[in-house]
Amino acid sequence: MTPKLVADLEPPYYTAVFTSIRPEVLEGYAETAVRMREIVGELPGFLGYETARTPGGIGISIAYFRDLEALDAWRLQTEHQAAKAYGREHWYDSYSVHIGKVERSYSFERE
């Protein structure tokens, strides 16, 4: 599958940037990640996401939301809260979350 960037979103919108450090392979992580993508994809106001991980275990995931209400719905979603708690206990060595408002955005794609 060819990667596709989230582009052409009309500002303003919001981002949740999740950076983490964790081991490469973790029991149940991949299945939980798939489930979280399913859940967030169903939320009104969710615009898309991008994610990357280095071989050394540093990960960056960025989720895009139309407004703060949509972002809060994701933050408060029951299964998402349970996954966060489990991740703190079992998967992550550390993580940070950064919330931002995007006021300007542009993109480029080679034809």
CB contact at 8 A, 97 and 17? yes
pTM of the predicted model over 0.95: no
Structure tokens at 91: 């998967």
Task: Tell me the C-alpha distance between 65 and 62, whole Å.
Answer: 10
> Region 14-32: what's the mean pLDDT?
88
- pLDDT for 51 equals 93
- pLDDT for 46 equals 97
Q: Residues 74-106: pLDDT tens digits?
A: 999 999 999 999 999 988 999 999 999 999 999
